[in-house]
Structure 1
């Protein structure tokens, strides 16, 4: 048993556990914390895949910005404890069944996929993947990149305006 396998096992358990806790908890703040744990462990899995840039982006964008944005939205809206209490009678079994089916499909796909070395994948070509990614994003995909940032900004402003209007009615 190598250290990489042990790190993968721990990170994958954290990822799956955080996702399961996220759908199991009834309080929204606990859900966001579980989601943050899931995002951080996914970033750790990216580090194991030697995709450091994607891991750092995962931490900055998802673990940081999205989680803070979700907490900000929660703070702006009203939540009643009675509204958050959802019937859990069939929710647990249905969630378990969905996760089990998804696991079996992913396991089957991984077992039946030929994982050969890609042509031209050497250590030198993997070392400058950040340069290649940056060049692609800021040359070919600069317009979609900027449109995505504007869309996220408009969504944030819209959420603030909607939350303010709900608070002004009372």
Structure 2
């Protein structure tokens, strides 16, 4: 058996970003490393595959990177959750709180068909606000959330509590 890469070694801490007192976990060095990016997607797929998703839903921007790669690896579709005003057709919106403010996400009204099995994915689970908004959007469209998947979880922010009842997995925990 081959030894797994230490993915956490490629996560860069950026102090005081986007606001003072926040230590941002930057996944861009991990994404830039071909072996680490491949292994990250493989590990995400190992968890997601048995849940038989029809769709992966990722939020901009890093959720697009991991989500598109994961959807390709699993042979399923990919849905984008975007900031308001970025999608060109009719949308629904969900608002949420961040650890440093508020925001909202939108998806097209036909992005998730009723009964579709969806994994919501992002690079980081922090307070659970973004994940909760994505879950809300899927459920409002009649989809079934079969898991919430993250590269990183900031456990001290208790984001899992906000999405209680959802099967949650993260590759790296801080």
Larger Rg: 1
- Output the TM-score relative to the length of structure 1: 0.21
- Output the TM-score relative to the length of structure 2: 0.20
